[in-house]
Structure 1
Amino acid sequence: MSWTLLVDGTAQSHVDLTDPTHLEFEYVRRLGHVLDAAAPPAAPLRVLHLGGGAWTLPRYVAATRPGSGQRVVELDGALAELIAARLPADGLGLEVRVGDARAELARVPDASVDVLVVDVFAGARIPAHLTSVAFVGAAARVLAPGGLYAANLADGAPLEFAKSQVATARAALPELAVIAAPDVLRGRRFGNLVLVAGREPLPLAALIRAAAGDPFPARVEHSRALGRFCAGAPVVTDATARPSPVPPPGFFGRPEPQPDSSAQP
């Protein structure tokens, strides 16, 4: 049985209760690739999910890595209650906390997280306070040795937001890669990009294989190619931070604009 969660017309999550390893959305599969590559198969991970949705990735981790310790942070308390009631995840060992992602991140102990997944949207945009170098620095603080930071971004041509996010992450974490469809990387369409970062060399070979083998193949940009991608992009501070761009109509399930029924001919 599958469910899709929409919030204000935006598709936030897809959950297959009969098969939690089924990841419907492309960007969620790419985040799943990061989780798969973070440790040997079936080895438990300590995962912090900023942004809960319908708990798709926490369910995936619980199914593929039994015994993992997972915390989910969700700002919308009513949404968290709805998911718990309608799409329960009993027995999966999830700790769900209601609160702001950055505020809750500040309470997490140093070096206590193996994978930090950031997938936070207010409607269809990433909140500004989760895009700054101070935020990424706070994320870096909680990463254990070898830990990975994975953030879902959304952008379109000329990709100024995505490029600045790569430059910002690089200011806090030295190893980076971006996973995205080739046409998104070229700015031919609006889409998702998954930013992966850490202090130690990333599992690039595993990520490249997984991205290439996906039903909708993606490319993994890293090293010099990624440096060229973000060349000249500014590092975002709290003072300069802005939300991610407004997606075009129809993206993320956003409805097309409707004519104003009150308008007179």
Structure 2
Amino acid sequence: MTDQPHFDFQPDERGGVTVLRDGHPQSHVDLHDPELLVFEYIAQLAIGIDLLPAGPAGITHIGGAGLTLARYVQHTRPGSPQIVLEPDASLTECVRRELPLPRNHRIRVRPQDGASGVRALRDASADAIVVDAYDEGRVPADLLTPTTIAHYRRVMKPGGLLLLNLADEPSRDYLARVLATLADAFDHAAVLAMADVMKGRRFGNYVVIASTSPLDIDEIRRRATRLAATTTVRAAGALRGTAKPFTDDDVAASPPPPDPGAWRAR
């Protein structure tokens, strides 16, 4: 019989709370300052959200954890309709109890995994889709098959954004295959990562922004300079190389992190 996961909510001196699952950090939430994004890749994903036109935006999240980015969207774009596909209902229940969502929010959490949940979403219903889901520290393979990516594009409005939080080893072989797969559905993509990760010095997170419409790489770089952690931005083509795209029958989860106890999975 599989042991039930154990969740902890660890306050910090700044007034925020880190959500831990079985001792592993999942999210950081500050109820008083939803714009405080402590995890570097969450701040990088927020750059993508901020590229959207001003005002409420329809956002679909694949993976929820502490709902940090959904709270950010609600705070910066009040009234935004948001769908969160989070299969771990026990985690969602704990988060709702310990870290209540703000009043008048339009965040709807569905206890579904991303690959099956996205198939049920309406055409052209999202301004952006955020893929930030991990299982035991790895991005599930079924989230990046050509079929699932085609559903992302179907659900996105014209000119919408697909935002992904991926993780890879210094070789970036996995990232290159993901970018090659995305290139079949999206003509434009940029990659953000902390400088030492982009230089291939260690395992780490890569945030990908993809769209059917051109991206302003210079604007993304300008926004990245405002982040607390030094962030590098590169066009996806420079990192894709000659990598072979995934197929529905040939797809892999992201590489396992070298130290799951210390690496932030979401």
Q: What TM-score, normalized to structure 1?
A: 0.90
Q: Counterpart in 2 of 1:263?
A: none
Q: Percent identity?
A: 38
**Structure 1 residue 29 corresponds to structure 2 residue 43:** yes
Q: CA deviation at 1:100?
A: 1.2
Matches for 1:95-174 after TM superposition, within 5 Å: 95-174=108-187
Of 11, 26, 47 in structure 2, the residue corresponding to residue 12 of structure 1 is: 26
Of 20, 41, 57 in structure 1, the residue corresponding to residue 69 of structure 2 is: 57
Distance in 2 between residues matched to 1:15 and 1:35, nearest whole Å: 18
Of 240, 249, 252 in structure 1, the residue corresponding to residue 263 of structure 2 is: 252
Residues 168-212 of structure 1: per-residue CA shift (max 9 Å, x gap):
111111111111123212211111100110111124333111112
Unaligned runs of 5+ in 1: 255-265
SS at match of 2:263: helix
Residues 64-87 of structure 1: per-residue CA shift (max 9 Å, x gap):
011111111101011111111111
Distance in 2 between residues matched to 1:129 and 1:251, nearest whole Å: 25
Are the aligned partners of 1:45 and 1:65 in contact in 2 as well (CA < 8 Å)? yes
Count of equivalent residues: 249
Structure 1 stretches of at least 4 aligned residues deviating more than 3 Å after TM superposition: none
The amino acid that maps onto 1:73 is L
Q: Counterpart in 1 of 2:6?
A: none
Q: What TM-score, normalized to structure 2?
A: 0.90
Residues 89-112 of structure 1: per-residue CA shift (max 9 Å, x gap):
042111110011111100111111
Q: CA deviation at 1:227?
A: 1.9
Q: Describe the shift of the 1:90–1:17 C-alpha distance in structure 2 as closer, same or farther (beyond 3 A).
A: closer
Of 185, 189, 193 in structure 1, the residue corresponding to residue 202 of structure 2 is: 189
Q: CA deviation at 1:253?
A: 5.0
Query: Between Structure 1 and Structure 2, whose CA radius of gyration is higher?
Result: 1
The amino acid that maps onto 1:59 is R
Are the aligned partners of 1:10 and 1:123 in contact in 2 as well (CA < 8 Å)? no
SS at match of 2:90: helix
Are the aligned partners of 1:154 and 1:192 in contact in 2 as well (CA < 8 Å)? yes
The amino acid that maps onto 1:193 is Y
Q: Counterpart in 2 of 1:239?
A: 249
Q: Counterpart in 1 of 2:10?
A: none
Are the aligned partners of 1:132 and 1:236 in contact in 2 as well (CA < 8 Å)? yes
Between 50-59 and 236-245, the greater mean CA deviation after superposition: 236-245
RMSD value, Cα = 1.4
Q: CA deviation at 1:251?
A: 3.9
Q: Describe the shift of the 1:209–1:61 C-alpha distance in structure 2 as closer, same or farther (beyond 3 A).
A: same
Distance in 2 between residues matched to 1:186 and 1:21, nearest whole Å: 28
